[in-house]
Amino acid sequence: MAAKKSSDKPKNLVAAARGGQPGGGLKRYWEIFKSLAGTIAIFLVLRTFFVEAYRIPSGSMVPSLLVGDWLFVNKLVYGPHVPFTHWSLPGYSDPNRGDVVVFESPYQADQLLTGDDPTPTLVKRLIGMPGDTLYGREGVVYVNGLAQRQGYTSPEQAKGDPNMESDLFDWQKKVGLAASRFGAAPAQPKIDTWGPFVVPPGHFFMMGDNRYDSKDSRYWGFVPRANVRGRPLFVYYSYVPADESDRAVSFITDIRWGRLGHWIK
């Protein structure tokens, strides 16, 4: 018996070196893999159905949102979208007029000319609900005949040419009202003069707060309810972009500390 124990000793040492028993190393790697896979799965579920980070790439929502703002977006509120499908799960609220909303843009054929995504994810303010009659005159937006506050914008914002025309406005000619109690739609819509038209069922009309620097529903039309992806919550990080900063590595050296934790309204 003593000789047998002596002969088993080298095998036991090798097994211990491999993890305590034969195949122990593989088992340890499998456990690590399962832990990583579980962590990734939880992250993907949270990102898909609950909260996602979003970066503001343009000035279309100034002063509410600035270039260089990073936001957390609540995807559960309006019903999270199921990836690779046309379905969305039920949410606990519906979009309302005045909300800042994250959504998938309607198809923009002109984006292909510049090599950009024709259906980018955007953030704008919801201006028109289904059934609303909308029109713009001299830079003022009217909803059902009532002038809306201009002061999502700021006095410091540059004002564009109010008579600017674009081929991208031509879609409005098909929906503009030839006659209404608010007057008739112009023969050629302009950036400040458009409508009236009625927002169709199941759709919204979106505009940027920075009205003269926002490519929005005036250009590409109504947004289907199914395209809505969420509502921004707050700014968790913000910095002055490199092309506006005089500091090196501005994402570290030129942080907008006062915007951290800013709730979006």
CA dihedral 180, 181, 183, 187 (to 10 degrees): -10
Exactly one of 64, 75, 105, 124 is catalytic; which is it? 124
Cβ atoms 169, 219 nearer than 8 A? yes
Among all chains, which residue has been given the structure tokens 């929005």?
216
88 is catalytic: no
CA separation, residue 185 to residues 145, 150, 157, 254 (Å): 14, 21, 27, 47
Q: Is 246 exposed, middle or buried (0-12, 13-18, 19+ CB in 10 A)?
A: exposed
Strand order in the sheet with 223-224: 51-55, 69-74, 228-238, 100-104, 121-128, 203-207, 223-224
CA–CA gap between residue 74 and residue 84 (Å, rounded): 20
Half-sphere exposure of 75 (CA within 13 A, CB side): 22
Single out the catalytic residue among 60, 64, 105, 238.
60
Q: How far apart are CA 49 and CA 46, in angstroms?
A: 6
Does the annotation count 11 as an active-site position?
no
d(CA 200, CA 20): 69
Active-site positions read: 60, 124
